[in-house]
Chains A and B, each alone.
Chain A
């Protein structure tokens, strides 16, 4: 692995540059709110930064709830695997990792 080719994201500076561009775009998008006059249908759209805020908060809430759901929904990977399968089948499935792609 030592003499392996260096790829784009192996360089931490590249990642940093990408992130800076990304943050800049986010800031520009919020500032555009002041420039572009939007015709609104819903009163909430008038709120300053409604869409950015909704997107950000929505996603954080989504991830937090989903993570919390793991506490009672998550089971082992082979939870359903002992249904009707014989021991030999299970062993075979395990050997190929259950990923026998098309023949």
Chain B
């Protein structure tokens, strides 16, 4: 074979971004499509190993290291970028196109980073490039949401940097491998990863900002940031039991919010946290089967969650509305989008023969095998719940339910094509999982299609659907209402500013009172002294001759002179 130069995968994307900034029209479209295709073809031929390494100060930096774990994320990021670029071909907004290319490149840079410093650089680049996809919406809401997003993302990066410095001090190396939760470095890096991974209480940047981004921006955003975090956890903290509990919490709590949320893209944002929860549980269990499950679920999630965001983006693009309360009956004029959305919904709900099933079942099986009974029950509940809010609610309120009277047509062909590619992948992986399994880091010989699994999952899902039907017939299903639901972000968007305002006004008042009291005393003092010593012979009205002043100056100068001699 011919000698081949291994180009770091982020490079084609960064170059593509540069070209996209200066080209327009069809030429730009061709270049933007060509970048992920060529880069993926190149990546497919790159062997495992360290491909770029150099010394920096006292440390060994490895900007390009490839193994099975990073390849999995590398491949899916190429697929995601390719689909998202096709989906956004109609967009005439250079800022978005450039930001998307840079963002995808940063994600690739992060998953192939072999040391913590390189990881940190791409970690921050992810934040700075992606925020433009939110700001590109060009509304006040998007602007402030983007600001909050940026602050939290940068905070995560700063914590990562601090952790990396501690790590270098502890271990004398910056290599990015297994870290584990011992020592300050371990915890700091864990928290940094956790913020980007949308751990509970650090999850609101996601539900806050993603639904405010542009139609195409949200599709791209959903693919990279959280998956990079999952990758980082899988590399540095496999088998950390704490992750099992955090992940289980992540699968459960968002579904409650998703059920009552009106903005359908925000529903998907909550369901994104729920899906990432399954991956985090898999990483936490840490067996070969569980890690395989976590990684393959990340792979599938990028595609089916992208598909769902694309269908909701199509609805927003064509109707200008995204609230469940404003939509309904769209199947009549958007039949293709409806079918594609149902494919995405079936995949995320893990119906047999769809992609979610072949990966999620691995995490569930691993939880049972390792004796995490209660966690398994929580995951089962979350599986039913995700079907309820993402599998039924999204298609139902957008395309069926009551007729909203909106008669929007299916979106432009490029959007339909992008959704079709994603939908075909969802079904292909579901029908023939062996192709996906062959790419996984471990060989476990797992088969998702045995009678037990298929029957159990189908029963669970159909009876969840039955619950939906029953609640609707009884009129107990919560209607879609125009509303904002408070979540943890209330603490920093309302409570904290309000508390700060009150505290500062209190301090200001206290300060005012103290100053006034002091001034009053001081005034009294002055009056007293001036009273005491007023008059011609008083202390304050005595006159001194100029001569004595000169004498004192002479004394001071003499002392200076003396001191300089002493030295």
Contacts and interface: CB of A to CB of B under 8 A. Distances in A.
Contact of B215 (A32, A41, A101): A101
Nearest to B368: A41
B463 A60 contact: no
A26 B376 CA distance: 24
B139 interface: yes
Contact of A83 (B217, B456, B493): B493
A66 B393 CA distance: 14
B2 interface: no
B486 interface: yes
Q: How many B residues touch the partner, as a band?
A: 35 or more
Nearest to A96: B139
Nearest to A38: B452
A101 B256 CA distance: 28
Given A74-B260, A74-B481, A74-B485, A58 B384 contact: yes
Interface in B476-502: 476-478, 481-487, 493-494, 497
Nearest to B258: A66
B469 A19 contact: yes
A34 to B, nearest CB: 11
Contacts of A98: 139, 141
A26 B318 CA distance: 36
Contacts of A36: 451-452, 455
B511 interface: no
- Could you tell me the dominant secondary structure of chain B's interface residues? helix
B373 to A, nearest CB: 6
A45 B96 CA distance: 50
Contact of B138 (A7, A42, A69, A100): A100
A102 interface: yes
Nearest to B380: A54
B484 A76 contact: yes
A58 B385 CA distance: 8
B322 interface: yes
A9 B331 contact: yes
Q: How many A residues touch the partner, as a band?
A: 35 or more
A41 B317 CA distance: 47
Contacts of A69: 256-257, 260, 485
Contacts of B456: 38, 45, 51
B456 to A, nearest CB: 5
Interface string B449-461: 0011001111111
Given A7-B331, A83-B144, A29 B459 contact: yes
A13 interface: no
Nearest to A67: B478
A37 B451 CA distance: 8
B459 A77 contact: no
Contacts of A96: 139
B256 A32 contact: no
Contacts of B257: 66, 69
A10 B455 CA distance: 33
A63 B471 contact: yes
Which 7 pairs from chain A and chain B are nearest by CB? A59-B467, A55-B463, A66-B259, A38-B452, A51-B459, A55-B460, A52-B463
Interface of B: 91-93, 96, 136-141, 144, 214-217, 255-257, 259-260, 316-317, 320-322, 331-332, 365, 368-369, 373, 376, 380-381, 384-385, 388, 400, 405, 451-452, 455-471, 476-478, 481-487, 493-494, 497
7 contacts: A22-B466, A62-B385, A70-B485, A77-B483, A78-B484, A100-B137, A101-B214
Given A56-B464, A63-B388, 5 more contacts: A41-B368, A51-B455, A56-B466, A62-B381, A69-B257
